[in-house]
């Protein structure tokens, strides 16, 4: 159906990785491992059809709990807003598809 574009995935990945830069009490090796897991999840996210903000954030919280717990709340809120903007077109397209199906 509809999937996120590469540019959208890169923006989400950059926001998550930049959030790791805000955390100073995690050593370099742990941050490298977290970045690797973030990239893996972003690649999987690119295969989702018609993703929603709740699905994406739920998956991140399930698969990346240590990353999500370490990020500042304001950064998580900005991440949620970015994902909502990127997935807004799927919500509008689903109404059109269901209306004409």
Closest CA to 22 of 31, 12, 10: 31
Residue 4, number of CB atoms within 10 A of its CB: 24
| Residue 92 CA from chain centroid, whole number | 20
Along the 101 residues of the chain, how does pLDDT read in single tens digits?
578 999 999 999 999 999 999 988 999 999 999 999 999 999 999 998 888 999 999 999 999 999 999 999 999 999 999 999 999 887 765 554 444 44
Handedness of CA 10, 79, 17, 47 (dihedral sign): negative
pTM of the model: 0.84
């Amino acid at each position: 159906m509809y999937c996120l574009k590469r540019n959208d995935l890169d923006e989400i990945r950059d926001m998550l990785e930049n959030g790791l830069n805000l955390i100073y009490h995690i050593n370099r090796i742990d941050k490298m491992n977290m970045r690797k897991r973030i990239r893996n999840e972003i690649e999987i996210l690119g295969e989702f059809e018609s993703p929603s903000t709740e699905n994406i954030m739920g998956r991140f919280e399930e698969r990346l709990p240590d990353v999500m717990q370490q990020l500042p709340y304001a950064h998580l809120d900005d991440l949620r807003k970015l994902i909502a903007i990127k997935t807004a077109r799927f919500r509008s397209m689903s109404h059109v598809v269901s209306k004409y199906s």
